[in-house]
Structure 1
Amino acid sequence: MQDGNSGETIQNNIFHNPGRAASFTTSRTVFRRNAVKNTATAGDGFQGNSRPVRDVTIADNNFSGADPTRYNADVTFIEGDRNLTVNGNRSTGDGTLVALFKTTGARITGNTVTGGTGASAIYIGGADHNVTVTDNTISDAGSAVKVANDFGGGASSAVTITRNTLRKNQYAVNVAKDATTGGVHANRNSITGNARYGVFTDPAAGARTDATCNWWGNIRGPAGGDKVSSGVDYKPWLKFSSLSVGCR
């Protein structure tokens, strides 16, 4: 799926230990209903573009079998992307489902991730704008959602994290140093049983994190449930586990 092509669809395949399931530099590409079965020797499951692409959909795939200590991500978008959808996928034990760098308009929705070995299940790596992370279920990750600027690409903006179930991770939401302008908005999520923090914001993140109207696993909010760090606005919070009830 390389230069000069467009509008390709790859679906209903089983890939055994590919090392890399796919690599593309094309727009309007669809990769859906595939099973990617790596082994511990895999380098990365799905390496994305090395030049700008747009209108790409990665949907309803099953990723499994890789070693998360050496794995990059099931899906990686590297640079200059627009209108990206990662929807309805399942990732089991690979560590990271999706990593984003320098993207605009990415939608990460309805995925189920069982992470591993301290990796970030959804990694918003730098210079990403208008990213929505909604209706995902993530457990056993280092960070369920991490917003970072680890490679110096620049701070991200307009990152919205809503209606997710984030449980039994080390961090549910982790906002790193120099990661954001304007802050991250994490609202109406179920944040329970995360070992270190429900929401953590580095003191030098760039802005405070709006984490109001979440369920923290306790009617008393973070005081009785998952912890929050300084730099996080968490009042008011949900008093019940339903994410649709009033916030007070």
Structure 2
Amino acid sequence: RKDTAAVVCEICGDKSYGRHYGVWACDGCSCFFKRSVRKNIIYTCIAGNWRCVVDKSRRNWCPACRLAKCTKLNMNRLAVQNERGPRKLRCLSMPRINDLNSYKYDMTFSKSVILTRQCILLNFMTSEQRMEVIEENCHFVFALLILLSEDETTLRKFSKNKNIPERVQSDPEQLRLLICIILSQSKSSLLKFAAPLSNFYKFCLFHYCYQNDSVASASVLISAVTWLHENDSWDLSSLIRSSPEHLIAEVMSSSDKL
């Protein structure tokens, strides 16, 4: 069997961990293609000649040429249109829960999008880049919020590692720093610049906790983030009523109007 970790994205050359819509594509390009098709977006070439370079570092420069390359490589538009919803994890599943809880998780997921959007690491990104980062990473923040709400029973149903960290609580500043740590450790190519900042944010968290006489809580919070990353794939979409894409678009649309 081919080692998917060694395959490069046919669109931009970044690492691809699987086939998306018929081609080897990274998460960023597959999300971009899906979003473009679902919203029927018509782009205009930035340079005007439809010859822009689409690679790992410049894939967000011209969405028109990026989509044109997706089309040239025969990415399947029908697969996007016929997709019922996000793929479920191979061995983790959960029946849909009652409407009251679904509404609660809708609100929690929307909050995870807002908190990810507000992270300082996204401040100088374009709207397209922010959307890509949020789509790739807000599921980690969603899982973190569920963990912080002490909803261990729910998380256990989605986790391969049943050794869930001890109950943790955080104040707004601790949560802000935790999200910075999560994003600085992200596999997203758009956040590679933030990788060296991970230890800095951990130091800030320890310093903040020390000032507030709760040094021990810093270690617990960081171990919780480590546990989330070790579990890697958090597909909690069955918890919410709407599709993740719909909620993300709704939240982003509202924030753009502010």
TM-score normalised by structure 1 residue count? 0.24
TM-score normalised by structure 2 residue count? 0.23
Q: Relative contact order, CA 8 A, sep 6+: which one is greater?
A: 2
Choose between structure 1 and 2: higher strand proportion: 1
Q: Which structure has the larger Rg over C-alpha atoms?
A: 2
